[in-house]
Chain A
Amino acid sequence: MPEAAFAAQLPPSGHLLVALGAVAALLALAALGVASAHRPAGRPLIYGGALAVTLVAGLSALTAIAAPAAGMVLPLGIPWIGTHLRLDALSAVFLAVINLGGAAASLYGLGYGRHDHAPERVLPFFPAFLAGMNMVLLADDAYSFLLSWEFMSLASWALVVAHDKEAGNVRAGLVYILMASFGTLALMLAFGLLAAGSGGGYAFDAMREAPPVGAFAALVLTLAMLGAGSKAGLVPLHVWLPLAHPAAPSHVSALMSGVMTKVAVYGFIRIVFDLSGPPDWWWGIPVLAAGGIAAVIGVLQALLQGDTKRVLAYSTIENIGLIFIGLGLALAFSANGFPAAAALALTAALFHVLNHAAMKSLLFFGAGAVLTATGTRQMDELGGLIHRMPATAVVMLIGCAAISALPPLNGFASEWLVFQAVLLSPDLPAWGLKLMVPAVGALMALAAALAAACFVRLYGVAFLGRPRSPMAAGAQEVDAFSRAAMIALAATCVLAGLLPGFVIDALQPAVGGLVGETMPAQGSVAWLSIIPVAESRSSYNGLLVFAFTALSALLAAVAIHRFASRAVRRAPPWDCGFPNASPLAQYSAASFAQPIRRVFARGLFAAREKVEMPPPGALTPARFSSSARDPAWAFLFLPLTAAVGYVAERANTLQYLTIRQYLGLVFSALVLLLLVLALWT
């Protein structure tokens, strides 16, 4: 009851009711999934239903971005407090991303789910996972936020261990649930500190009224980075991500990597930008550092992996790093009195949220298609799929180019905006930031270049060249549902890249609500260019770049075919006169990464190469092996688990005491506590 006094309750709106209805429908689908999992109609029913619900919810959320905020209190949850719900521009942006990503995953699942040998372990949890993510975005009090967050984590955990017979999946599930619990704990403490300021109010409105100050605010920022960062995959809390995301079925991998990490980004934005009051000048520094480190470490690790889905999972860490760089810049600008620059940085981050959701879902769908067609995720068993899977090859090429930030696709547009924000930062007064920002800019540029290398490798090894295994040689194109989902996402990538101005304009209500200023309207700029600050400063026109390039290519093709030769003769490859008949002589995933491994990964990742060359005349084969480690495991988690094991070992003796010793223990504990109490007061 005390909460009601803090702020006038927002009126409910149609959009909020649609969103709530979507949650209810998804939960109902989850229940239906339990009942119908074993029937042949179960799969089309669940995925078709989820597709319809998320499509409606996503489109409704798109229109809700510009609508006024709506709120509602449901008499559920803790008595006298209830469940507070709210749909403002920020939640609407993320609701749109999540539901449209969910719709694509459902469409893909319609076809992909056919190959699932244990549908009863996937069908109930898939809609439940979607419902959990939707609830997190609607929650407007700490209790329902944490409850939905945990629900989302548990549903996704169930999906991670869906294929529990495959090697490594159970361990992935264990690491995931441990890290998820840690993250929820950090968020719970953060909300506790936030609620302390408002005298114990659980509702976000009460927290907004009395934001934390000084050390408490710093602690909230730290806890939010730990809690949301562990879910999003910030280094070094990322260790679960490359294990868990690939373990799930591919459409769920897409949801976890493309969509659930965005819920974590939302949690971070909600706590730090909205609930913690005005930021201090230095808040940007840890966020920028975390983002820069995650970007470079993520992409370097991706380059060292041989498993297609694991490459994509590590690349997610890189992209989350880019998003956090944008958020860190926004915090720095907003705290130091540059709201227009903060709006640019925040827009860039939100734009990249949208872009990464589309690209990464697309790439995971493609990896799933390859898995269906060949039965393997190992790049070194693939090759030549461009001949066998023409449609998948085209959309994967678009996805790889987009995530490598190549113009005119969408990944470039959002990275370009982040670079523009970096270039505004010499105005910042604080020295720490002045030195930090260019260094982070360099890290980001390095990450972008390495990402291009990473996706040349992924595409080149898996789709080009000659097949390296009989499975790859006999691959078949995937079903129409999967193709439709991938084509829809590829179209999104192209459209958002060609017309970035409209996306930027659509994001402005959310940006304005958080930093108090918006970017200049882009929709009315001539030729559909984007001009983030001023025309003399910078502008970019994806549409014209595309048109000019396409026109030049066409012109060249027509001119050459008309006036020069168009003769083609097929012949064996040249290869400097010594073509090797064995497809295994091609560059493999490991050999492609060898130069980069040697340049970048020797120190931190301890990448080593070992060649065993038998002496002349010996009949044993020569062997080459390479190894690398994840520094987070080596320096943080393995020592940590060793320490926990050591303490547990020592404490184990406490379980074998006599009754007298136990009584003595209880007595001394009592005396000690009384002493503490006596000295305290």
Chain B
Amino acid sequence: MDLMAHILVQGTQMLLVLALAPLLTGLVRKAKARLQRRRGASVLQPYRDLVRLLRKEVVLAQNASWLFRVVPYLVFAATWVAAALVPTFATGLIFSWTADLIAITALIGSARFFLALAGMDVGTSFGGLGSSREVMISSLAEPAMIMIVFALALVAHSTQLSTIASVMLAGVGLRVSLALALVALLMVAVAENGRIPVDNPSTHLELTMVHEAMVLEYSGRHLALIELAAQLKLLLFLSLVACVFVPWGLAPVGAGVPGMALGLVSYGGKLAVGALLVAVFETSIAKMRVFRVPDFLGAALMLGLLGTLLLFVSGIL
């Protein structure tokens, strides 16, 4: 019975992230539109888009291989599993020990690996351009992420995200290293999700696009899966920032139904605030040139490394 309850909670989390991801994107778009003094589409528009794409036929390039057709499912599955392993409303879920933060990072890396391959499968110049830029960005974003993981793990003495969240919930005080890690994590999150100023998720037909160029040949249900995966990834990074740096309200291990309910409410609140902040940030900054991105991410890497070094030097900084 106990096991069933645990599995139920884990299942709830999986379905929750899947259900909330399009809403989050809708919220960000709506907030951006309002900030630009437009009415904007309804916050439910991403759901409608997904349903429309799922119903459409797939237009497949003539020389697309089986890999091109398998990749959307792989990317979606890897991102979904990764998003479901990040604590959202409760810590200590039954499968939370399956993969630690390093493995979650690597799962996102797997999704990107296959998406970059798919970009090269049809053999068009736009696909290659997107893939080549994507791996350039990730070659700096991934080590920066690992450095952030190091900093968090050294504070919490664990790479288990659930344990890190519990430690943060118990309170570790203000620390310079964590402040550095937070800044670095926000920068990596911007790059990983292809948001402004690194990439523009709503651009097309521009030589500056990265992610959109990579998935240019996708259509129909394949595109729906890739869009959903991108939405899940945004949710994942917001949940990650929320559970590590604003863990208040998270249901602790063994919490009952009231604790979980409180966790759910606070999670919803955090997501809404996060969406608003993303919109404000994106509205107030201009997109940078592709070759400025390495400087941006290099700074994130150095901040992460600095945070880690501080922790190596002194346990209390």
Contact = CB atoms under 8 A, between A and B. Distances in A.
A587 to B, nearest CB: 2
Contacts of B57: 565, 567-569
Given A422-B150, A545-B98, A587-B128, A449 B61 contact: no
Contacts of B54: 560, 564-565
Interface in B301-317: 301, 304-305, 308-309, 311-313, 315
Contact of A587 (B120, B225, B290): B120
Interface stretch (A31-39, A44-52, A457-465): A457-465
B60 A568 contact: yes
A536 B136 contact: no
B216 A552 contact: no
Nearest to A425: B312
Interface in B119-135: 119-129, 131-133, 135
Contacts of B150: 422-423, 438, 441
A406 B309 contact: no
Given A401-B113, A537-B158, A564 B55 contact: yes
Interface stretch (A187-195, A574-582, A641-649): A574-582
5 contacts: A412-B106, A416-B106, A423-B150, A435-B309, A556-B76
A407 B63 CA distance: 29
Contact of B309 (A405, A438, A538, A570): A438
A552 B147 contact: no
Contact of A557 (B73, B117, B135, B291): B73
A544 B100 CA distance: 12
Contacts of A434: 312-313
A299 to B, nearest CB: 10
B104 to A, nearest CB: 9
Interface string A136-148: 0000000000000
B58 interface: yes
A65 to B, nearest CB: 28
Interface string B36-72: 0000000000000000001111111111011100000
Interface in A526-579: 529, 535-541, 544-545, 548-553, 556-557, 560, 564-565, 567-576, 579
Contacts of A481: none
B123 A586 contact: yes
Interface in B160-174: 160, 163
B77 A556 contact: yes
A594 interface: yes
Nearest to B121: A464
B62 A571 contact: yes
A556 B120 contact: no
A49 B81 CA distance: 47
A574 B59 CA distance: 9
Contacts of B100: 538-540
Interface string A370-406: 0000000000000110110000000001000100111
Given A435-B309, A442-B301, A595-B132, A575 B216 contact: yes
Contacts of A553: 73-74, 76-77
Interface in A441-460: 441-442, 445-446, 448-450, 452-453, 456-457, 459-460
Contacts of A77: none
A80 to B, nearest CB: 53
Given A446-B140, A580-B125, 9 more contacts: A387-B65, A448-B143, A448-B146, A456-B120, A459-B117, A548-B77, A548-B95, A549-B78, A549-B81
7 closest A-B pairs by CB: A587-B128, A465-B123, A460-B120, A567-B57, A445-B143, A553-B77, A595-B136
B103 interface: yes
Interface of A: 383-384, 386-387, 397, 401, 404-407, 412, 416, 419-420, 422-423, 425-426, 434-435, 437-439, 441-442, 445-446, 448-450, 452-453, 456-457, 459-461, 464-466, 529, 535-541, 544-545, 548-553, 556-557, 560, 564-565, 567-576, 579-580, 583, 585-587, 591-596, 598-600
Nearest to B159: A538
Interface string B273-317: 000000000000000001100100000010011001101110100
Contact of A599 (B110, B129, B294, B304): B294
A445 B100 CA distance: 16
A459 B131 CA distance: 12
B12 interface: no
Interface string B200-223: 000011000000000011001100
A334 B145 CA distance: 29
B142 interface: yes
Please report whether the interface of chain A is mostly helix, strand, loop or mixed according to DSSP: helix
Contact of B77 (A407, A448, A549): A549
Contacts of B73: 553, 556-557
Among B61, B63, B123, B291, the most chain A Cβ lie within 10 Å of the Cβ of B123
A462 B62 CA distance: 18
Contacts of A567: 57-58, 220
Among A384, A438, A446, the most chain B Cβ lie within 10 Å of the Cβ of A438
A162 B113 CA distance: 37
Contacts of A592: 120, 128, 131-132
Contact of B98 (A450, A460, A548): A548
Contacts of A416: 102-103, 106
Nearest to B101: A538
A460 B131 contact: yes
Contacts of A441: 146-147, 150, 308
B77 A574 contact: no
A453 B102 contact: no
A494 to B, nearest CB: 14
A426 B317 CA distance: 13
Nearest to A526: B97
A426 B311 contact: yes
Interface string B78-122: 101100000000000001011110110011011011001101111
Nearest to B128: A587
B132 A461 contact: no
A445 B129 contact: no
A270 to B, nearest CB: 31
A545 B107 contact: yes
Contacts of B97: 529, 535, 539, 541
A387 B58 CA distance: 20
Given A464-B123, A574-B217, A406 B109 contact: yes
B80 A552 contact: yes
B183 interface: no
Interface string B139-157: 1111100110010011001
B124 A575 contact: yes
Contacts of B25: none
B81 A545 contact: yes
A456 B139 CA distance: 12
Contacts of A574: 59, 61, 124, 216-217
Given A426-B311, A464-B120, A586 B60 contact: no
B13 interface: no
Contacts of B103: 407, 412, 416, 540, 545
B159 A420 contact: yes
A438 B204 CA distance: 40
A59 to B, nearest CB: 32
B231 interface: no
A445 B138 contact: no
Nearest to A428: B312
B153 A423 contact: yes
A612 to B, nearest CB: 21
Contacts of A439: 305, 309
Given A397-B67, A423-B150, A529-B97, A596 B159 contact: no
A576 B216 contact: yes
A550 B133 CA distance: 28
A445 B126 contact: no
B125 A585 contact: yes
A579 B158 contact: no
Contact of A384 (B55, B59, B63, B135): B63
